[in-house]
């Protein structure tokens, strides 16, 4: 993040993560950076938000270990640390519980495809994460991908990239470029990534190791292009 921030010409939009652990948050804390999550009733492209956004935006598409979900609650509470699950010890309070607001990928597909349920606070929040992930990607000229290999089964992840680039094309926006850091890429894998993201192969750059990415000129050069 510090390398990105050093490039003053870069308008950093935020992080999109499929992980519900707190490794990203812990890393930002160590750098002395503040971050925030996206609530249900926030429009990140509202003029007020854009001018006064408080810190680094993190979109968590599968929820987070520090999002507190409790029985009967209308909202998800964002906590500083991981939420410790608390379940009833007797049948009288069987419907009373506290647990982290996370949804595994396989269940999430069912959640997204099912009928929208306004009474489910976690579902409302997650749908908003996915909605604005598309918006963020549609406005991003440069996308840096770290540690995600786009498995064939993650159809919804494929779709957010495809929809985002359809929006860019409809708005006649310049070609999006990608810097992907996820191990060794064959030409076949490069073409597969191009098909999934709808980004031309010549607009995709590959860095084999994350340590090389942050310790080399690759990232700095990419940001300045």
219/118 same-domain check: no
Domain count, the chain: 2
Instruction: Tell me the Cα Rg of the chain.
Output: 19
User: Chain-wide mean pLDDT for the chain?
Assistant: 82
What predicted TM-score, i.e. pTM, was given to this entire model? 0.85
**Confidence tier at 28 by pLDDT (50, 70, 90):** very high
Are residues 1 and 79 both part of a single domain? Answer: yes
Domain range enclosing 73: 1-139
Could you read off the pLDDT of 136-189 as tens digits, one per residue? 999 999 999 988 878 777 788 888 998 998 898 888 777 889 988 876 678 888
Whole-number Å distance between alpha carbons of 111 and 129: 13
Q: Is the pLDDT of residue 56 over 80?
A: yes
End position of a domain, from candidates 139, 173, 204: 139
Q: Are residues 93 and 160 in the same domain?
A: no
**CA atoms lying within 13 Å on the CB side of residue 149:** 10
Give the separation between CA 119 and CA 131, rounded to whole angstroms.
18
Same domain? 131 vs 217: no
Q: Looking at the chain, how many residues does it have?
A: 225
- 216 with 179: CB under 8 angstroms? no
Residues 145 and 159 in one domain: yes
| Residue that is last in its domain, among 139, 162, 195 | 139
Q: Of 78, 109, 139, which residue sits at a domain end?
A: 139
Residue 195 sits in the same domain as residue 157: yes
- Mean pLDDT over 81-86 rounds to 94
Query: Cα-Cα-Cα-Cα dihedral of 124, 130, 156, 19, to 10°?
Result: -100
């Amino acid at each position: 993040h510090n390398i990105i921030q050093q490039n003053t010409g870069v308008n950093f939009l935020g992080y999109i993560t499929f992980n519900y652990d707190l490794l990203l948050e812990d890393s930002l804390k160590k750098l002395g950076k503040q971050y925030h999550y996206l609530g249900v009733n926030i429009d990140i492209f509202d003029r007020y938000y854009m001018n006064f956004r408080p810190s680094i935006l993190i979109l968590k598409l599968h929820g987070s270990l520090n999002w507190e979900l409790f029985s009967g609650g209308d909202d998800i509470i964002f906590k500083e640390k991981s939420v410790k699950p608390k379940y009833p010890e007797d049948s009288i309070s069987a419907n009373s519980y506290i647990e982290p607001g996370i949804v595994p990928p396989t269940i999430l597909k069912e959640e997204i495809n099912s009928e929208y349920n306004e009474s489910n606070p976690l579902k409302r929040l997650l749908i908003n994460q996915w909605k604005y992930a598309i918006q963020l990607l549609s406005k991003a000229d440069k996308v840096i991908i770290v540690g995600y290999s786009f498995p064939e089964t993650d159809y919804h992840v494929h779709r957010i990239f495809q929809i985002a680039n359809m929006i860019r094309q409809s708005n006649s926006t310049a070609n999006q470029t990608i810097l992907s850091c996820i191990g060794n890429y064959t030409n076949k894998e490069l073409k597969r990534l191009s098909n999934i993201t709808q980004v031309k192969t010549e607009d995709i750059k590959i860095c084999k190791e994350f340590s090389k990415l942050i310790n080399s000129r690759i990232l700095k050069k990419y940001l300045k292009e």
